[in-house]
């Protein structure tokens, strides 16, 4: 009887731990999805003022691929990097909107 109780407890514990890890995985997935969505929004914002940087879209694609592979931490890092690029690209384009090249620099 004691052996059956021990096995039952071990089974319940394994089930609980298994569910706990899937809950954590779902949270990580949601965090990665949110980071990728923020990066895409930032990229589109930069593109709206012709300030999208060359590599931003590719970095977002790499983040999406990492998320599909279950590498949520990597996906979040890549997405955060792409989001910053979008932000900086937007700022750069807006700050240089009225920039005029001096005549002595023109060919």
Delimit the domains of the chain by residue range. 35-96
Query: What pLDDT score does 16 carry?
Result: 62
Mean pLDDT estimate for the chain? 87
C-alpha of 45 from chain center: 16
pLDDT tens figures, 39-82: 999 999 999 999 999 999 999 999 999 999 999 999 999 999 99
Among 102, 106, 87, residue whose Cα is nearest residue 49: 87
78, 63 contact by CB (below 8 A): yes
Rounded to two decimals, the pTM is 0.73
By the 10 Å C-beta count (0-12 exposed, 13-18 middle, 19+ buried), 5 is classed as exposed
Locus of tokens 């990229």: 43
Handedness of CA 14, 16, 19, 24 (dihedral sign): negative
- Model confidence band, residue 9 (pLDDT cutoffs 50, 70, 90): low
72, 28 contact by CB (below 8 A): yes
């Amino acid at each position: 009887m004691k052996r059956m109780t021990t096995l039952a407890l071990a089974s319940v514990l394994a089930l609980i731990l298994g569910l706990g890890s899937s809950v954590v995985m779902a949270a990580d997935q949601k965090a990665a999805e949110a980071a990728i969505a923020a990066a895409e929004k930032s990229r589109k914002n930069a593109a709206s003022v012709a300030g999208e940087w060359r590599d931003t879209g590719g970095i977002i694609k790499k983040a999406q691929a990492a998320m599909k592979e279950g590498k949520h931490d990597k996906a979040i890092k890549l997405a955060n990097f792409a989001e910053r690029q979008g932000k900086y690209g937007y700022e750069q384009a807006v700050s240089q909107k009225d920039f005029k090249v001096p005549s002595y620099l023109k060919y």
